[in-house]
Amino acid sequence: MTAIDSATEVQAAESVKTPALLGPWALMWRQFRRHRVAYFSLFIVGFVYLVALFGEFLAPADYLKTNTRAPFAPPQGIHFLTQDEDGNSRFQLHSYGLKMEVDREAMRRHFVPDPEKTIPLGFFVKGYEYKLLWLIPTDRHFFGPKDPDQTVYFFGADRLGRDILSRIIMGTRISMSIGLVGVAVSLIVGVSLGGLSGYYGGWVDNAIQRLIEFLRSIPTIPLWMGLAAAIPLDWPPLRTYFVVTLIVSMIGWTTLAREVRGKFLSLRHEDFVVAARLDGLSDWEVIRKHLVPSFASHIIASLTLAVPLMILAETSLSFLGIGLQPPIVSWGTLLKEAQNIRTIIEAPWLLIAPGSVIVITVLALNFLGDGLRDAADPYAH
């Protein structure tokens, strides 16, 4: 009897749900999702990185292929219904071909859509060959003209008749990765120097703080310009890329170092740190096992906010012509094409397309960082 009673009691106790205990990361996620704009931005940023990863698959045309017959070709729209020989309307994605017209008064050629010529479009079409994710050789592309010999300029063409959309997609890889690599460099330098500064204090702290103040007091653009102009033009693209990344991350680490130092200063005398030290852990272990995890979320938030700054810096330098150089395609080198007002008036898409991509990406990254910063301390309030 008593045995049965206790058994049912146990069952009853099990059926009462113990409230789930959420760890700090789960709490942060919860807090983060409440910031709707930031949550939405997370998807945009994720999408942009996917574009960077699967660039060749998404690009409808070879981004390096020039076309002497389509300089400054305007963006071609996508139309839905075609008419076959019998005059019946049929659903078929297509674009109109381009017809060249000569404006005799202005002595200028320009293109108009030619409704006579239709170019059928489709998904998963054949195009130029490439290696998906640098591994799988294929020639399939997500969207484009069904005839591999045709080119449709969804975002228009540049001076040499290269497809702007494909160039933006391929430029995404360079521009977004500069942000990531730059932030990685800032992270390493910032956390080590900031950590040293905050953990040891004294003259180490003083020296590092003076160094940071000094770096911040120099106007960044002249400094960057000076350094970037020192990159020889005949360097291989990859080396230029890494040096530009280093230059761009030179200022970024200072903010991070200051933040880490502040955290170290406030945590240094907390009980759990003192306890860890009394347990005989070395300085490095205390930092790695106890201090860094306690402010990792703040670091992630500041890193997210640093990425857009680096992207903008790279864009500005490449735009001036002293950052990345033309065979490399980045958002900055794309905008360089739109440098003078005459070009912009003739071909506004050279400015609008890459410009809006930059603004949307940077905006999304800023919102994301903002949301992460708010969520970084879920125990507040």
Partner 1 sequence: MGGFIFRRVLYMIPTVFLVSIVTFIIIQLPPGDYLDSLAAEMGEAGVDNTAVVEQLREQYGLGQPMYLQYWKWMTGILLEGDFGISFEKNLPVTDVIWDRLGWTFAISLLTLGFIWAVALPIGIYSAVRKYSVGDYVATFFGFVGLAVPNFLLALVMMYVAFKYFGQSVGGLVSPEYLEQPWSWGKFVNLLQHIWMPVFVVGTSGAAALIRIMRANLLDELYRPYVVTARAKGMSEFQLLMRYPVRVALNPFISTIGWILPTLVSGEIIVAVVMNLPTTGPLLLRALLVQDMYLAGSLILIVSLLTVIGTLLSDVLLAWVDPRIRYQ
Return the residues of window 184-203 that contact partner 1 according to CB under 8 A. none
Binding test (CB under 8 A) with partner 1, winner from 316, 325, 330, 333: 316
Three-state helix/strand/coil letters over the chain: CHHHHHHHHHHHHHHCCCCCCCCHHHHHHHHHHHCHHHHHHHHHHHHHHHHHHCHHHHCCCCCCCCCCCCCCCCCCCCEEEEECCCCCEEEEEEEEEEEEEEECCCCEEEEEEEEEEEEEEEEEEEEEEEEECCCEEEEEEEEEECCCCCCCCCCCECCCCCEHHHHHHHHHHHHHHHHHHHHHHHHHHHHHHHHHHHHHCHHHHHHHHHHHHHHHHCCHHHHHHHHHHCCCCCCCHHHHHHHHHHHHHHHHHHHHHHHHHHHHHHHCCCHHHHHHHHCCCCHHHHHHHHHHHHHHHHHHHHHHHHHHHHHHHHHHHHHHCCCCCCCCCCHHHHHHCCCCHHHHHHCCHHHHHHHHHHHHHHHHHHHHHHHHHHHCCCCCC
To the nearest whole angstrom, how small is the minimum distance from the Cβ of residue 35 to partner 1? 12
User: How many residues in total does the chain contain?
Assistant: 381
Return the residues of window 341-370 that contact partner 1 according to CB under 8 A. 341, 344-345, 348, 351, 355, 358-359, 362-363, 366-367
Size of the site for partner 1 (CB under 8 A): 39
Beta-bridge partners for 131: 137
User: What is the distance between the alpha carbons of residues 131 and 25, in angstroms, rounded to a whole number?
Assistant: 37
Nearer CB in complex with partner 1: 144/156: 156
Binding test (CB under 8 A) with partner 1, winner from 23, 137, 222, 236: 222
Is the Cβ–Cβ distance between 168 and 159 less than 8 Å?
no
Binding test (CB under 8 A) with partner 1, winner from 160, 227, 265, 276: 227
To the nearest whole angstrom, how small is the minimum distance from the Cβ of residue 66 to partner 1? 24
Binding test (CB under 8 A) with partner 1, winner from 40, 126, 320, 374: 320
Binding test (CB under 8 A) with partner 1, winner from 260, 335, 347, 375: 335
To the nearest whole angstrom, how small is the minimum distance from the Cβ of residue 72 to partner 1? 16
Q: Does 229 bind partner 1 (CB under 8 A)?
A: yes
Is the Cβ–Cβ distance between 330 and 235 less than 8 Å?
no
Q: Does 124 bind partner 1 (CB under 8 A)?
A: no
Stretch that binds partner 1, among 78-86, 127-135, 273-281, 335-343 (CB under 8 A): 335-343
Binding test (CB under 8 A) with partner 1, winner from 58, 248, 322, 353: 322
To the nearest whole angstrom, how small is the minimum distance from the Cβ of residue 210 to partner 1? 8
To the nearest whole angstrom, how small is the minimum distance from the Cβ of residue 122 to partner 1? 34
Nearer CB in complex with partner 1: 93/344: 344
Stretch that binds partner 1, among 26-34, 169-177, 187-195, 336-344 (CB under 8 A): 336-344
Nearer CB in complex with partner 1: 56/337: 337
Return the residues of window 272-311 that contact partner 1 according to CB under 8 A. 308
To the nearest whole angstrom, how small is the minimum distance from the Cβ of residue 345 to partner 1? 7
Beta-bridge partners for 123: 143
Return the residues of window 202-221 that contact partner 1 according to CB under 8 A. 213-214, 216-221
Is the Cβ–Cβ distance between 358 and 316 less than 8 Å?
no
Nearer CB in complex with partner 1: 19/222: 222
Q: Which residues bind partner 1 (CB under 8 A)?
A: 213-214, 216-223, 225-227, 229-230, 232, 308, 312, 315-316, 319-322, 335, 338-339, 341, 344-345, 348, 351, 355, 358-359, 362-363, 366-367
